[in-house]
Chains A and B, each alone.
Chain A
Amino acid sequence: EAQVTQNPRYLITVTGKKLTVTCSQNMNHEYMSWYRQDPGLGLRQIYYSMNVEVTDKGDVPEGYKVSRKEKRNFPLILESPSPNQTSLYFCASSLRGGQGFNYGYTFGSGTRLTVV
Chain B
Amino acid sequence: GENVEQHPSTLSVQEGDSAVIKCTYSDSASNYFPWYKQELGKRPQLIIDIRSNVGEKKDQRIAVTLNKTAKHFSLHITETQPEDSAVYFCAAITGNQFYFGTGTSLTVIP
Binary contact readout B1-21 vs A (1 if CB under 8 angstroms, 0 otherwise): 100001001000000000000
Considering the chains assembled together, what is the distance between the CA atoms of A43 and B51 in angstroms?
A: 21
Which of B62-70, B73-81, B92-100 is near enough to bind chain A?
B92-100
| Extra 7 A-B pairs, beta carbons < 8 Å, given A43-B44, A43-B89, A105-B34 | A42-B89, A45-B98, A48-B97, A98-B95, A102-B32, A105-B98, A108-B43
User: What class of interface size applies to chain B in its complex with A?
Assistant: 20 to 34
* B9 closest partner in A (C-beta): A40
Task: For the complex formed, measure the closest distance between the CB of A103 and the CB atoms of chain B, giving whole angstroms.
Answer: 11
Considering the chains assembled together, what is the distance between the CA atoms of A88 and B44 in angstroms?
A: 12
- Which one, B95, B96, B100, contacts A43 given CB within 8 A? B100
User: Taking chain B's interface residues, is the majority helix, strand, or loop, or is none over half, making it mixed?
Assistant: strand
Task: For the complex formed, measure the closest distance between the CB of B107 and the CB atoms of chain A, giving whole angstroms.
Answer: 16
Residues of A within 8 A of B (CB): 31, 33, 35, 40-45, 48, 50, 56, 58-59, 90, 97-98, 101-102, 104-105, 107-110
Task: For the complex formed, measure the closest distance between the CB of A56 and the CB atoms of chain B, giving whole angstroms.
Answer: 8
Considering the chains assembled together, what is the distance between the CA atoms of A58 and B56 in angstroms?
A: 30
Considering the chains assembled together, what is the distance between the CA atoms of A29 and B85 in angstroms?
A: 31
Closest 5 CB pairs of A and B: A97-B96, A42-B102, A107-B43, A43-B100, A42-B100
B103 proximity list for chain A (CB < 8 A): 42
Contact indicator B44/A107 (Cβ below 8 Å): yes
* A107 closest partner in B (C-beta): B43
Contact indicator A48/B46 (Cβ below 8 Å): no
B101 proximity list for chain A (CB < 8 A): 42
Task: For the complex formed, measure the closest distance between the CB of B79 and the CB atoms of chain A, giving whole angstroms.
Answer: 27
* A50 closest partner in B (C-beta): B96
Among B42, B89, B96, B103, the one with the most A-chain Cβ atoms within 10 Å of its Cβ is: B96
Considering the chains assembled together, what is the distance between the CA atoms of A41 and B98 in angstroms?
A: 14
Which residues of B, 14-46, contact A by the 8 Å Cβ criterion?
32, 34, 42-46
